[in-house]
Structure formats: structure tokens, C-alpha cells
Amino acid sequence: MKRRSLLRILIGMLFVIVLLWGIILYVYLNNNSKADYYGIVYEREAPEFTLTDQDGDQVSLSDFKDKVVLIFFGYTHCPDICPMTMSVMNNVVDQLADQADRVQVVFVTVDPERDTQQKLKTYIPYYNESFIGLTGTAEEIDKVADDYNVYYSKEEVESSSEYLMGHNSSVLLITPDGEIFLRYPQNRMDPALIAGDIKRIL
């Protein structure tokens, strides 16, 4: 009688241990696989938007349902970070080779005042013919930036009539099922590693 209950307790304890071990292993593996991505895991539903591209066409996020979307906010009068990011994006697409057509790079201006459709038409294809540049009215841009938690502000340049824009400079990766899954800040701009994340997702 005594032995039996002892056995029961032992089996019960064993069961709890195995269960706990399983939970720990599950959490560990889950975290570990996410930590393996080069980008910072973000996991948020990507808000829908509709803006105007460099050809004057209306473009929505839902147009790219079967693609990985790399989206970032910038402006064409940006001397340093935006051209650098564009050039990195071009390199990422290059590295994807035959999978390149399953990726869409989208540039959204935070400076609709100067970045008209015509301006984007000379700017965007210079980096890559497949890239899409989006503009809209100040209100439309405000709304999209707000939805994507992007901050921006005008900064005057002392020596000229030029102005700069302070803006969020991270690239966001949106999965084919519409989730902002990864975020690439400016210190994570290695094209090979970004391409590696995309290959894993596709």
C-alpha cells in the first residue's frame, strides 16, 4: 500500500518533470530560432495603405500579398542615410537572384512637398527598376507614417534654402501574410544577412 502510493508520487513527479522540460525546451527552441534572424523580431500586423507610385498609379500594401515587402521611409533630398539604404536594398535584391521577383522594395517619402511623383520617377529607378517609390498628400503620408510608428520632422540647413528631414531610418520586413516581422535599424544593414532572412521566410 505504502509502496504503491510512493510509486504514484514518483510517476506524478516524473510526469511534471517531463512536462516542465518540454515547456522549457519549447520556449528555448522557439526563442532561439527567432533570435537566429539578423533583423530584430517585431511581429505586428502591417497596416494597409494606398499611396501613389512614381508612375502615378495607386499602390496598396495588399497588392503584394505573395511577396516579402521591404519598406522604409525616407526622402530624396537626403544626402547620406537614404542613398545608403537604397544601395543596400539593391544589393539585397541582387543577392536573392532568382527569388528577387518575390521581394518588393518600397520607399515611402516623408517629404511629399518636394518628393512629387515626377521627382520619384527620376530617383527610384536609378537604384533599381523594380523598386516602388510612394508619395501622396501631406495628410496621406502623415497617416501612413503614423500607422507605421514613423516619426519625421523638418530640419533647416543653415547655409541654404534646403531642408533635411529627421526620420525613422529602419527598414521593415513584411511577410507575404502581412505581418511586420523584422526590423533592420541602420546598424543592421548587411545585404547578405538581410537576404539570408528573406530566403528563410520564402
Partner 1 sequence: MFKKISVLSILFIIMAQIAISQETMIINDAWVREVPPGSSVSATYMTIQNKGDDDQLIEISSDVSENAELHTSKVDENGVASMEMIKVLEIPAGKTVEFNPGGMHIMLIGLKESLVGKESINLTLEFTEAGEMQIEVPVKKSAGESHHHHN
Binding flag, residue 66, partner 1 (CB under 8 A):
no
Contact by Cβ (8 Å): 98, 61: no
Cα angle value 142/155/59 (rounded, 5°): 30
- Which part of the chain contacts partner 1 (CB under 8 A), choosing from 26-34, 70-78, 100-108, 174-182? 70-78
Size of the chain, expressed as the number of residues it contains? 202
- Which part of the chain contacts partner 1 (CB under 8 A), choosing from 4-12, 20-28, 50-58, 145-153? 145-153
3-class state of residue 38 by DSSP: coil
Give Rg (Cα) of the chain.
23
Identify the residue whose cell numbers are 527598376.
129
Q: How many CB atoms lie within 10 A of CB 29?
A: 10
Kindly tell me which of 127 and 181 has the beta carbon lying closer to partner 1.
Answer: 127
Burial of 2 from C-beta contacts in 10 A (0-12 / 13-18 / 19+): exposed
Binding flag, residue 154, partner 1 (CB under 8 A):
no
Binding flag, residue 103, partner 1 (CB under 8 A):
no
Interface residue with partner 1, options 78, 93, 96, 198 (CB under 8 A):
78
CA 192 to chain centroid, in Å, comes to: 16
Binding flag, residue 100, partner 1 (CB under 8 A):
no
Interface residue with partner 1, options 157, 177, 199, 200 (CB under 8 A):
157
Interface residue with partner 1, options 47, 81, 117, 142 (CB under 8 A):
81
Binding footprint of partner 1 on the chain (CB under 8 A): 76-81, 83-84, 87-88, 91, 119, 122-123, 126-127, 151-153, 155, 157-160, 162, 164, 166-170, 183, 185-192
